Structure 1
């Protein structure tokens, strides 16, 4: 299968490319810089030079593929929807014959899940902190002529990555406290990046559309995660003050206080897939985050 991937030089997209290539598929990957092209080339993918604003490039690459994975995102771009909407239109419009399109979404499209993990058919949060993801989902699912699949990921971790986990590590080291606010009783579902990548491959190979929650069955309280980070960084296990948390995480503070839980049963039953990698707490204590933990703390106490 020929697969076109956006976001392949990033965290999730890069691991998805690795698993696609290992499964015997051919991958073309969007690369907006020389550095990005070098990274995707080192993975074994063919670099397609351009960015999300290069609609002709997107259209041509999608048209020449059997399926598309859209994992590109810039969470710091306030106009992300304005960037993504025409990019999605270009790629979706170039596909026909039921070819696959997989959209990387997030559990943050749901409201706070303190009442329990939502099903994929649950009401969504029109005030989501990542509203562009909710709007992107709707655009993809409404497209005609494609097999559209949306994967709503939980807290992704592993391979020493994840902006949120590494940000929490940085905040703990810089501020000397556990990176949470208040009681930290809110639960989060987690998913190792390799488990998530395997799900992407299963979706593409089975060509079944729809919406699927992507997580393991492991749920951690924010306090558990933050205290483990404090333990391995040598910080005080006390929580951050709201002022310190706001300085370290900015608008992400509101995310840290939400319940973000998922039930992956639909994905498991549809694709014969299950999460099997080591858990996040174990990975922090003795796994892939060693280099992050041993590196220099961020300047100025920022978790960015």
Structure 2
């Protein structure tokens, strides 16, 4: 199948591409720069010039494809509302191009915030559905296209998609530990964060594209919830620095922008996803990745 992808050169997308190519698919990737186009071409992807705000490129890419995988997002924390509007317009355009075709539209979403304090499941509805909500309510919008003849699927990723090269949340904690000489966690550190290895997440994206039912929600979660103090302890052991708790008053100074999120308790299950798509994560977990140097060497 000919697949149009956004985010094909990103952290998750660049792992999805070889999954798709190995399975015999052809991939066309949105490229917002010459550097991105060269990287895509080197990976075996046909570049299509354009960005997320280039709705004509999105429309033509979707119309000429057998299906769409939308993984890109503008992570501009200085204008998150604007990023949400861009996301909503992109999903509206991609879905609109596929209406009545039965072709798949797989979009990226997340498990964070679904059910704070309890284990979220695939049956939990996305809390953000309005245009002015986070990510422009794009998950709800995308799934609504299932009623208009699109095989739309939401892949909710764990907030930590780990592996060598990860620059996300765990990388921020590890960098703070190296710079400050202490691996820290907030409060008692019993709050839990789900995680998934990048390669396992990429495999799930392919399965969702090929097999998921219209309107399906799948969870890219390899580990339901790892206590943040255990994450800090693994970082402390690896970098040979002490592990300590920090209070709310010191969190901003230590963790920066991550401080507002690190204290959340957001475990999530992927049991239904595993059963429905026969997905079984096989790669090492987050703590093992930390101990084997995925976040730097001592």
TM, length-normalised to structure 2 = 0.90
**What secondary structure is seen at the aligned counterpart in 1 of 2:194?**
strand
Structure 2 residue 268 is matched with structure 1 residue 265: no
When residues 287 and 170 of structure 1 are mapped into structure 2, their CA distance, relative to the original with a 3 A threshold, is closer
Q: Which residue of 1 aligns with 2:50?
A: 50
How far apart, CA to CA, are the structure 2 residues paired with 1:31 and 1:228?
A: 37
Q: Which residue of 2 aligns with 1:183?
A: 188
Q: Which residue of 2 aligns with 1:13?
A: 13
Q: Which residue of 1 aligns with 2:283?
A: 277
How far apart, CA to CA, are the structure 1 residues paired with 2:284 and 2:92?
A: 38
One of 108, 111, 134 as aligned partner of 1:107? 111
How far apart, CA to CA, are the structure 1 residues paired with 2:273 and 2:250?
A: 39
Decide whether the 8 Å contact of 1:53 with 1:83 is kept in 2. yes
**What secondary structure is seen at the aligned counterpart in 1 of 2:108?**
strand
Structure 2 residue 79 is matched with structure 1 residue 76: no
Structure 2 residue 227 is matched with structure 1 residue 227: no
Segment drifting more, 237-246 vs 257-266: 237-246
Decide whether the 8 Å contact of 2:111 with 2:120 is kept in 1. no
**What secondary structure is seen at the aligned counterpart in 1 of 2:151?**
strand
How far apart, CA to CA, are the structure 2 residues paired with 1:158 and 1:34?
A: 27
How far apart, CA to CA, are the structure 2 residues paired with 1:288 and 1:232?
A: 10
How far apart, CA to CA, are the structure 2 residues paired with 1:118 and 1:179?
A: 26
How far apart, CA to CA, are the structure 2 residues paired with 1:162 and 1:201?
A: 23
Count residues in correspondence.
289
**What secondary structure is seen at the aligned counterpart in 2 of 1:51?**
coil
Q: Per-residue deviation at 1:76?
A: 2.4
How far apart, CA to CA, are the structure 1 residues paired with 2:96 and 2:240?
A: 52
Q: Per-residue deviation at 1:124?
A: 4.3
Structure 2 residue 210 is matched with structure 1 residue 208: no
When residues 134 and 217 of structure 1 are mapped into structure 2, their CA distance, relative to the original with a 3 A threshold, is farther
Q: Which residue of 1 aligns with 2:261?
A: 255
Stretches of structure 1 that go unaligned for 5 or more consecutive residues are: 295-304
How far apart, CA to CA, are the structure 2 residues paired with 1:240 and 1:148?
A: 43
Q: Which residue of 1 aligns with 2:64?
A: 64
How far apart, CA to CA, are the structure 2 residues paired with 1:171 and 1:240?
A: 13
How far apart, CA to CA, are the structure 1 residues paired with 2:245 and 2:182?
A: 6
Segment drifting more, 15-24 vs 54-63: 15-24
Q: Per-residue deviation at 1:45?
A: 0.7
Q: Per-residue deviation at 1:16?
A: 1.0
Q: Which residue of 1 aligns with 2:4?
A: 4
Segment drifting more, 236-245 vs 99-108: 236-245
Decide whether the 8 Å contact of 1:30 with 1:50 is kept in 2. yes
Q: Which residue of 2 aligns with 1:137?
A: 139
Decide whether the 8 Å contact of 1:177 with 1:240 is kept in 2. no
Structure 2 residue 173 is matched with structure 1 residue 171: no
How far apart, CA to CA, are the structure 2 residues paired with 1:287 and 1:49?
A: 36
Q: Per-residue deviation at 1:64?
A: 0.7
Q: Which residue of 1 aligns with 2:251?
A: 245
Q: Per-residue deviation at 1:18?
A: 1.9
How far apart, CA to CA, are the structure 2 residues paired with 1:196 and 1:106?
A: 12
Decide whether the 8 Å contact of 1:141 with 1:149 is kept in 2. yes
Segment drifting more, 156-165 vs 4-13: 156-165
How far apart, CA to CA, are the structure 2 residues paired with 1:121 and 1:45?
A: 34
Q: Deviations over 1:209-238 (max 9, x none)?
A: 311222124531000001111221232211
How far apart, CA to CA, are the structure 2 residues paired with 1:131 and 1:261?
A: 22
Q: Per-residue deviation at 1:52?
A: 0.5
